[in-house]
Amino acid sequence: MEDSKLHEFVLKISSLWNEQKIREVLYLEALKKDSMGPLRKMLTQGHFSALIFQKEIHSIYDYFKCFLTDKDLISDKEVNLNTIAGLYDLEEKEEVTDYLKKTEGRILQSYKSLYKYLDRDLEIKRVVDEHLNRISEFYEILSRYDIVRIKDLKRSVSA
């Protein structure tokens, strides 16, 4: 990879790690809500996948970063507080799932933007593909809750 492309890639990987950190915090915060009973298993899986993905992304980052110019990945407590604030006032599971779904959608786009940098490295492409597949599954599960909510709303309006 040429130097400018490598630097862009490292920045994107760093950003992706931060997004996974946000994802971890969101799923953990959602688990604390009383209304999330039927979703607890999926929320737990989302939380653990975020932790695992962070670790894998961190390894990729450490491999490609320039030790002279690129900083270490550090969890920013301010980012975590801002993340929680967006979810804090939401109590209904439909609101929470919608918020999580939007977050997953943004992260999916971030992963897809990495493909232009993965021309030769098959191992990193495999990791990115695995992450994309798993996050897509979470996105689909959260989308199903939106479909169920819309059907319930239509039934209550027609009744």
pLDDT in tens, 17-56: 989 999 999 999 999 888 888 889 999 999 999 999 999 9
pLDDT at 92: 81
CA distance 24 to 89: 18
pLDDT at 85: 76
In the chain, where are the structural domains located? 3-158
Q: What is the pTM of this model?
A: 0.82
In angstroms, the first-to-last Cα distance of the chain is 61
Residue 101 has pLDDT above 60, yes or no: yes
Residue 94 has pLDDT above 90, yes or no: no
Tokens of 65: 């970063």
CA distance 1 to 64: 10
Residue 63 has pLDDT above 90, yes or no: no
3-158: CATH superfamily: Ferritin, core subunit, four-helix bundle (1.20.1260.10)
Contact 93, 145 (CB under 8 A): yes
Which DSSP letter does residue 91 get? -
**Residue 62, number of CB atoms within 10 A of its CB:** 13
**Lowest-confidence region among 4-18, 37-51, 67-81:** 67-81
Q: CA separation (Å) from 87 to 33, 78, 98, 101?
A: 10, 15, 10, 12
pLDDT at 55: 94
CA distance 55 to 50: 9
